[in-house]
Amino acid sequence: MRTSKIIGSGFYVPQQVIPNSWFNEQLGEDVDTWLRENLTIKERRWCTAEESTADLCMEAAKSALKDANITPEQLNLIIIATDTPEYISPSTASVLQYRLNAVNAGTFDMNSACSGFVTALDTAHKFIASDEQYEYILIIGAYAMSKYLNLQDKKTVTLFADGAGAVILKASSEAGYLTGSLHTEGQYADWMGIYAGGTHQPITNTVVNEKDHLLKFVKKFPKELNPEKWTGMIKNSCSKVHITPADIDHFLFTQININSIHQTLDNLEVPREKAITIMSDYGYTGSACIPMALDIARRDGRIKEGDVLCFMGSGGGLAFANVLYKM
C-alpha cells in the first residue's frame, strides 16, 4: 500500500526578539504578568521591515531539505499553508519554487488559517497515496502576522508572532499517515480575521485609515469551542484506526491558548505532558506552530521513530484539521 512518511523537518523564526516588557511600555500597563501566568508566553519573534513570508519559508525549506538529505530538484510538489501570503496573487509557493530552484515541483498555496499546516499534511498525503508521480512533497506552514497587527490593540498585538515550519513527505510502503479529517464551523467566519484587502473590501485610503486591513477580533469565541471540537475529532480519528488517545505518544496543537490544550488532554484522559508546546519562547505562530514544534521535538530527541503523533489544528473560519501520523 502506497502511503507517505515524514523524512525531514525544519523551522525558522526571524532574529528580532520582542519580549513581553516591550508591550508594557507600548501599552502603558503590565501585560507581561498576565501573558506568563495565563498563556506561558515570554517572548516572540517578529519580521523586520525587510523580511516577509517567502523569506521565512525559504529558510525553513532549506533546513527541512538538509534534514531529509534530498535536493530541491527532487521535489514534485510544494504546498504553503498561510493566511499571510507574500502577495494576494501569485502564490507564495511559486515564489519559493523559483528561489529554491525546485524546477520539477508544482506549487500551490492553501489558506485555512491556523489549521493550514494540518490541512496541507492531509492533502499532501492524499496526493502521494493516489498518484505515483508524487515522490517528495514539501509542506510549509508560514506566518508573518506581525505585518497585520494594530500596535494599540492589546487583544491581538501581544499574542501573534512570525515563523515557518516545514516537513518533507516521501512516498513509502511503511506505516506513516494513519488517518485524517477536516471540519468547519463557517458561522464564525466573521468573528476574527483580516477583512480588507480582498475583493469584498479592497484596500483604499479610507480602509487604511480605519485599520480594517489589520487583524481584529470582532467577537469573543466561546472558551469551550476548541476543547470540544478537538476532543471529538481526536476521538473519532482514534476510533477509525482502532487505537485510544492513550496510545498516542505526542500531541501537537494549535498553540494560541495553553488552557485549551490542557482541557483537551484532560477530556481525553491523557497526561498533559504529552503536549509539545513552544509558545513560551515563540508566541503564537499560527499555521507555523505545529511544524515548528515537530521539528524542535525531533531534534531534541523527544519524538522518535515509531511514535504516534496527533496533529490538531484550528483557525479562523473556523476551520479544524486533525491527522494521526506514525513516525
**Do 92 and 31 belong together in one domain?**
yes
**Do 134 and 233 belong together in one domain?**
no
**Do 153 and 291 belong together in one domain?**
no
Return the sign of the alpha-carbon dihedral for residues 254, 124, 163, 54. Answer: negative
Domain count of the fold of the chain: 2
Distance (Å, rounded) from C-alpha 163 to C-alpha 256? 14
**Do 31 and 145 belong together in one domain?**
yes
**Do 23 and 135 belong together in one domain?**
yes
pLDDT tier for residue 197 given thresholds of 50, 70 and 90: confident
Neighbour tally for 116: CB within 10 Å: 30
Q: What is the pLDDT of residues 232-280, one digit of tens each?
A: 999 999 999 999 999 999 999 999 889 999 999 999 999 999 999 999 9
pLDDT given for residue 216 in this prediction: 85
**Do 23 and 168 belong together in one domain?**
yes
Q: What is the pLDDT of residues 125-172, one digit of tens each?
A: 999 999 999 999 999 999 999 999 999 888 899 999 999 999 999 999
**Do 196 and 82 belong together in one domain?**
no
Any residues with CB less than 8 A from the CB of 100 and at least 6 apart, and which? 58, 61, 62, 65, 72, 75, 78
Q: Which of 147, 176, 205 is the last residue of a domain?
A: 176
What string of DSSP letters covers 54-101?
HHHHHHHHHHHHHHHT--GGG--EEEEE-SS-S-SSS-HHHHHHHHHT
pLDDT tier for residue 196 given thresholds of 50, 70 and 90: confident
- The whole domain housing 204 covers 178-326
Neighbour tally for 208: CB within 10 Å: 12
The CATH number of the domain holding residue 220 is 3.40.47.10
Across 175-185, average pLDDT: 95
**Do 157 and 18 belong together in one domain?**
yes
**Do 92 and 147 belong together in one domain?**
yes
Closest CA to 252 of 227, 277, 231: 277
**Do 149 and 210 belong together in one domain?**
no
Q: Which of 129, 148, 176 is the last residue of a domain?
A: 176
pLDDT tier for residue 9 given thresholds of 50, 70 and 90: very high
**Do 216 and 312 belong together in one domain?**
yes
Q: Which of 176, 191, 220 is the last residue of a domain?
A: 176
Closest CA to 10 of 142, 146, 104, 172: 142
**Do 108 and 54 belong together in one domain?**
yes
- Phi, psi dihedral angles at 171 (to 5 degrees): -60, 140
More confident residue, 44 or 196: 44
